Structure 1
Amino acid sequence: MLVREVMTAPVVTVPAEQTVKQAVHVLYERDITAAPVLDDEDRMVGIVSEMDLLRGEFEADPRAYARPAAEPESAPPATVAEVMTPNVRTVRENDDVLDLVDLMMTTGVKSVPVMSGSELAGIVSRRDLMGILAHGDERIRDDVVAALRDLSAETMTTRVAVHDGIVELSGDTDERAARIADVIARTVPGVVRVVHPR
């Protein structure tokens, strides 16, 4: 599966000079956990997450302490540019989702911008990936059958069964048709693995 098949587009972005409070409203109202940050020429210069925006936004409540809470040492950040992560890890539209998952797991990032050349094309969050995995077996089977029918006349007689996202391909097909069916089935969102029972 390719990144472009799971990414969210168009992308919700925020300007670098937007206030932290404005950015909080954008993320909260759009129900997203992060947004790419753009400069005044619409170039991506960073990414800002919910955690970035929470930094410095709350003061200690004196009711929680036996003594008065200490005054903050400095004013909280005012703009997105002050709290964003500037060095952004990105992926390309035609990258394999497996590489994207590996990037998320090794770096701990929850949202990754998707680039098309030098342009921002989309974004993929962990939630997007979970949504693909949440596809039911019946939907996955229907999608695999439709893809086999639409993309190759050689795979028309292939039988498809799906259990927990694992696709079983069988039927009276020759080896070449079986290979074609295998490749096509692996491109369908929600497919975890493809097997050929004997």
Structure 2
Amino acid sequence: MLVREVMSQPPVTVNDTATIKTAIMLFERHDVSAMPVIDAAGHLTGVISEADVIREMVMPDQRVHEKPVHLSALPLHTVVADVMSTHPITVPSEAELATAAELMTTTAVKSLPVLHRHRLVGVISRRDIIRVLARTDERIEADIDELFRQTGYDWLVEVREGVAVIDGPVVESEQGLAQTLASSVPGIVAIRFATSRSQGPPWPSTPRSSPH
């Protein structure tokens, strides 16, 4: 799957001159944990996260301090540009979804701005990927069946736990085509062929309970 097929669009963005309070309201309204930051021309200039605003805006509670804590009249930083990350990690819209997933897991960021020809076109988040992986086996199987039908093949497919077992294609070229088609379906996690004996059991093994 490609990033552009899964990303949220249009992206929820905030202007770099907006107040931090404005960013907080956008987080709440759209239920997102991070947003791309754009300038007046619409160019990506950074990313602001919930952590950025929490660090700046949560005041100490005087009730738990023996001595009063000095508070300035205003927060030190008041606009988005003051607290945003200025070197956002991005991903191209035509990148594989696996690439975006690896970026998010290796960098610990929860979402990535998606660019097409240097233009912001969407956001891909961990939640977007989970939504894809949560699709039912029945829906995945039906989508693969439809793709095979549209391409003129009467191959059979059964899906369990996101793993597709395809029966029909024998020669390598046909298996390559079947794999290309099936791998484009949201929610698929692995592909096996019923005619191949070298891939092990067709379904994920289920742990058995230990005897008492």
In the superposition, the TM-score normalised over structure 2's length comes to: 0.86
1:111 aligns with 2:111: yes
Q: How many residues of Structure 1 are paired with residues of Structure 2 in the alignment? A: 193
> What stretches of structure 2 of length at least 5 have no aligned partner?
196-212
- Structure 1 counterpart of 2:165, which letter? E
- Once the two structures are superposed, the pairs formed by residues 175-190 of structure 1 within 5 Å of their partners are 175=171, 176-190=173-187
- Structure 2 counterpart of 1:99, which letter? T
Assess if the C-alpha contact under 8 Å between 1:6 and 1:129 holds in 2: yes
Q: Distance in 1 between matches of 2:123 and 2:84?
A: 16
Assess if the C-alpha contact under 8 Å between 2:148 and 2:154 holds in 1: no
1:24 aligns with 2:24: yes
**What's 2:159 paired with?**
162
Aligned CA distance change for structure 1 residues 69 and 185 (closer, same or farther; 3 Å): farther
Q: Distance in 2 between matches of 1:5 and 1:97?
A: 9
RMSD: 1.4
Assess if the C-alpha contact under 8 Å between 1:60 and 1:69 holds in 2: no
**What's 1:52 paired with?**
52
- Once the two structures are superposed, the pairs formed by residues 91-110 of structure 1 within 5 Å of their partners are 91-110=91-110
Assess if the C-alpha contact under 8 Å between 2:57 and 2:75 holds in 1: no
Counterpart of 2:112 in 1: which secondary structure?
strand
Q: Distance in 2 between matches of 1:109 and 1:27?
A: 16
Q: Distance in 2 between matches of 1:107 and 1:170?
A: 39
Deviations 1:152-172 (A, max 9, x none): 21xx2111100110011012x
Q: Distance in 2 between matches of 1:159 and 1:71?
A: 71
Q: Distance in 1 between matches of 2:91 and 2:12?
A: 17
Deviations 1:25-69 (A, max 9, x none): 01110111111101111111001111111122111112223x034
- Structure 2 counterpart of 1:101, which letter? A
More displaced, 12-21 or 175-184? 175-184
Assess if the C-alpha contact under 8 Å between 1:115 and 1:122 holds in 2: yes
**What's 1:139 paired with?**
139
More displaced, 68-77 or 91-100? 68-77
Q: Distance in 2 between matches of 1:157 and 1:119?
A: 41
Q: Distance in 1 between matches of 2:52 and 2:106?
A: 20
Assess if the C-alpha contact under 8 Å between 1:8 and 1:128 holds in 2: yes
Deviations 1:111-165 (A, max 9, x none): 1011000210111011001100111111111111112222x21xx2111100110
Q: Displacement of 1:179 after TM fit?
A: 2.2
**What's 2:62 paired with?**
62
- Structure 2 counterpart of 1:122, which letter? G
Q: Percent identity among equivalent residues?
A: 34
In the superposition, the TM-score normalised over structure 1's length comes to: 0.92
